[in-house]
Amino acid sequence: MALAKELMGYPLTSKRPLLVWSASHFKKRTQPTQFSIKPFDRRPRTSKSGVVAAISEDLVKTLRFNTTTGDRKSEEEEKAAVKFKVRAVVTVRNKNKEDFKETLVKHLDAFGDKIGRNVVLELVSTELDPKTNMPKKSNAAVLKDWSKKSKTKAERVHYTAEFTVDAAFGSPGAITVMNKHQKEFFLESITIEGFALGPVHFPCNSWVQSQKDHPGKRIFFTNKPLLPSETPDGLKKLRERELKNLRGDGSGARKLSDRIYDFDVYNDLGNPDKSSELSRPKLGGKEIPYPRRCRTGRHPTDTDKEAESRVEKPLPMYVPRDEQFEETKQKTFAAGRLKAVLHHLVPSLKASILAEDFADFGEIDGLYKEGLLLKLGFQDEIFDKFPLPKAIVNTLQESSKGLLKYDTPKILSKDKNAWLRDDEFARQAIAGINPVNIERVRTFPPVSNLDPEIYGPQHSALTSDHIIGHLDGLSVQQALEENRLYMLNYHDIFLPFLDRINALDGRKAYATRTIFFLTRLGTLKPVAIELSLPPHGPNHRSKRVVTPPVDATSNWVWQLAKAHVSSNDAGVHQLVNHWLRTHACLEPFILAAHRQLSAMHPIFKLLDPHMRYTLEINALARQSLISADGVIEEGFTAGSYGMEMSAAAYKSSWRFDMEGLPADLIRRGIAVPDPTQPHGVKLLIEDYPYANDGLLLWSAIQTWVRTYVERYYPNPNLIKTDSELQSWYSESINVGHADLRDAEWWPELNTVDDLVSILTTLIWLASAQHAALNFGQYPYGGYVPNRPPLMRRLIPDESDPLYASFISDPEKFYFSAMPSLLQTSKFMAVVDTLSTHSPDEEYIGER
């Protein structure tokens, strides 16, 4: 309120009549009332608060009591005759930077505002007008001084508007906004002052489009959470109308200014019109089940009518307008974009170094000390070829020294050789960037779930002899019984794709299993690695087991085997645990929330901060990360089959009821139920940093969610009868996850416990789980030998023609199996960007 006074320059009551009554009313009064209010007295009245209150019930009763019997009116009519003014303080957020077109339109809008093309607001009451059975409304009011403040450079600009309402208006519940300007603006909030109940707040945080683009009025509700059953009569139709607007009608191509949330399959990852090699299968449907994404409605490709046409950079992908990134987030990645500019301006760079391998570890270290261009001696030669003014070239040349020089990853910060050790390799399985795949060995040897008719024997090649010498004197059975054997198992997810992956140029992979032993110190150590290939005939050796080294040669074999495990791990981490579980599988819940839950709904208000930016991130991922020839295909082992692998994981292993942390730990055999613990489980690996910290966060989230849910649902029956809540959950499953909708494991939504579990899982996935899987990518993956995203050679054995060259120079062979210099540099730039925090702790999956 103080801010509003300062903006207006005088109290709200100053130089304004408190009430506007008709002259006839005063003529017919038989005696003066105790208030002695003159209808046209413009002298300011004093008020302790400085804010006008709505007319009180006592005043109305007094007026009715003192009115002559012959002129007595109904209470409603008397209230309607009493008019008073309230004021809105409207906060608009300016853009920090505008291009020439935006600046020009801004000036035009300032001029247009002077001649009546204004921003118009209208208050809507929570009550219905008994005469019309429609919501009561104020007069239309325009924002004042838009033209005068058009040159204001502040980030936030405050405007005012003044409404006239009658005493029967009731409480304001909504406000409509019509933008008659040509340019959109970001409406942050509206505060209404002057009602007896105190200031009424409308949190908006939305782009309001021009009337010429979107003729309808925008609707904003107060910050009071309301279940559908609690919706006042005056707001019911508006609540329904706003949701209908957000759903759209499922037709047409979306404009960037639209606010429509709808579902579609992943049919826009390929670009068959450009090349048949860039064609990709549709994900979503009976053939390849997958979650749904946000519909854009672009026209189909000429080559494949079921494939949606592409939108390539720098053109933006459609997401609903309010889901697009704010300027602060965009600024965070300016340096990353300049890296991309340098890469694309110098096509000769790729050709020059594509095939170049690292000669030794010192060359990799040079990327952190010298930078890519300086290391290659390209700096001066490349910038001389820039078709830019000399001053700009000099600036870019100077800037590039830092841009193409990478920060030293944390994995090297204390001990640059730590990554080579087995204890660090094992530690990263429980405390690295992908700590969610480690599982307890329940049966030894491990057994595959793949069809033996296609993929060979289900039992692995691992035997007791491979590991018995590393179990601290225990037998294999004793180690199993004491919960001392653990495993990273990437056999079943990789094996069906290996023939196709290994046929790709410069890609070679195994399907790996790694066995770990839990020592008496409570730490893990790797004791065996199984490397599998698809069987090709009875005499083909498709499985191989590598154990810890005993000499220099076996040490190189062991290091290569660990590199292949890390490559498998990197692919599963990026395509399954990160992208699928914390991005793609959440998108249906987000779309359904906007479509089915009103902004007034308490559950929408709870979820909203955790849904922020996910749709934009996912759209950018479809544009340049997971698309045909995108970053994931170029930089990770699975190549063009990566998204099919992601879809296979969705079909075979994704279960929403197992996505919560305690359930996931129990499923993997890492924990057992324990009702004495606040989170309900006991860890079998006591020193499991991801789980130790994660369970504390899970419990905190769960406690907060339960307190919140019980506040709004004191009666479980309210959950069953909450039409919006039930529609949200139903649509998330039946439309958003349509391919798995018949699965029996979907949780029910009937009780407080059901809702708490569902919401805790969603918030966990969008916040803590995502952070664990995302923000450590550069600290661990920024040093490629520690975590190679792809491998280019298999490990030769004695029967392999390459074995002789491997034996003669194992270090050279090791680096020839690693990603090339260009692949390494490009991958480092990507994970650096993905690991970067913007000021609001979100990230952009941008190339």
pLDDT digits (tens, 9 = 90+) for 92-150: 999 888 878 888 888 898 888 888 899 999 999 999 999 999 999 999 999 999 999 98
Range of the structural domain that residue 102 is part of: 83-224
On whether both 434 and 404 belong to a single domain, the answer is no
Provide DSSP, 521-564.
TS-EEEEEEEEE----STT---EEEE---SSHHHHHHHHHHHHH
On whether both 443 and 564 belong to a single domain, the answer is yes
Residue 180 lies inside a defined structural domain of this protein: yes
Give the pLDDT score at 602: 98
Provide DSSP, 72-83.
---HHHHHHH-E
pLDDT digits (tens, 9 = 90+) for 500-551: 999 999 999 999 999 999 999 999 999 999 999 998 866 667 899 999 999 9
CATH value at residue 468? 3.10.450.60
Give the pLDDT score at 20: 34
On whether both 105 and 135 belong to a single domain, the answer is yes
How many C-beta atoms lie closer than 10 Å to residue 58's C-beta?
8
In angstroms, how far is CA 163 from the centroid of its own chain? 39
Residue 156's φ and ψ, nearest 5 degrees, are -120, 135
Residue linked to tokens 């040669």: 553
| Strand 119-128 with 141-142, pairing | antiparallel
Measure the CA dihedral 12/16/18/23, to 10°.
-170
Residue linked to tokens 């841009």: 403
Give the pLDDT score at 821: 78
Q: Which residues, 6 or more positions from 682, have their beta carbon under 8 angstroms from its beta carbon?
A: 671, 672, 673, 674
Last residue of a domain, one of 570, 590, 605: 570
Provide DSSP, 282-339.
PBSSSSS----EE---PPBPSS-TTSBPP--TTSPPP--GGGSPPHHHHHHTHHHHHH
On whether both 188 and 203 belong to a single domain, the answer is yes
Last residue of a domain, one of 519, 538, 570: 570
Give the pLDDT score at 34: 34
Residue 614's φ and ψ, nearest 5 degrees, are -60, -40
Residue 488's φ and ψ, nearest 5 degrees, are -100, 115
On whether both 538 and 459 belong to a single domain, the answer is yes
CATH value at residue 128? 2.60.60.20
On whether both 428 and 374 belong to a single domain, the answer is no
On whether both 448 and 408 belong to a single domain, the answer is no
On whether both 453 and 480 belong to a single domain, the answer is yes
Residue 155 lies inside a defined structural domain of this protein: yes
How many domains does the chain divide into? 3
Residue 315 lies inside a defined structural domain of this protein: no
Residue whose C-alpha is closest to residue 436's, from 581, 296, 335? 581
On whether both 479 and 562 belong to a single domain, the answer is yes
Reading the block at residue 281, the tokens are 């299968």
On whether both 547 and 522 belong to a single domain, the answer is yes
Secondary-structure percent of the chain, ordered helix, strand, coil, rounded to 5:
45, 15, 45
Q: Which helix (H) or strand (E) holds 687?
A: none
Return d(Cα 785, Cα 547) in angstroms, integer. Answer: 20
Half-sphere exposure (Cβ direction) of 174: Cα atoms closer than 13 Å: 30
**DSSP tag of 497:** G
On whether both 431 and 513 belong to a single domain, the answer is yes
How many C-beta atoms lie closer than 10 Å to residue 440's C-beta?
19
Residue 653 lies inside a defined structural domain of this protein: no
Q: Find the helix packing angle between 334-345 and 390-403, rounded to 10°.
A: 110
Rg (CA), the chain: 33
**Residue 187 one-letter amino acid:** L
Residue 700 lies inside a defined structural domain of this protein: no
Residue 781 lies inside a defined structural domain of this protein: no
Residue 293 lies inside a defined structural domain of this protein: no
Q: Low-confidence residues of the chain, pLDDT below 50? A: 1-70, 333-335, 337, 340-355, 374-375, 377-379, 381-383, 385-388, 392-393, 396-397, 401-403, 841-847
Residue 220 lies inside a defined structural domain of this protein: yes
**Residue 666 one-letter amino acid:** I
Give the pLDDT score at 329: 62
Last residue of a domain, one of 525, 555, 570: 570
Name 493's bridge partners. Answer: none
**DSSP tag of 168:** T
On whether both 220 and 116 belong to a single domain, the answer is yes
Reading the block at residue 497, the tokens are 């794709």
Q: Which residues of 62-73 are buried (b: 16+ CB within 10 A; e: fewer)?
A: ebeeebeeeeee
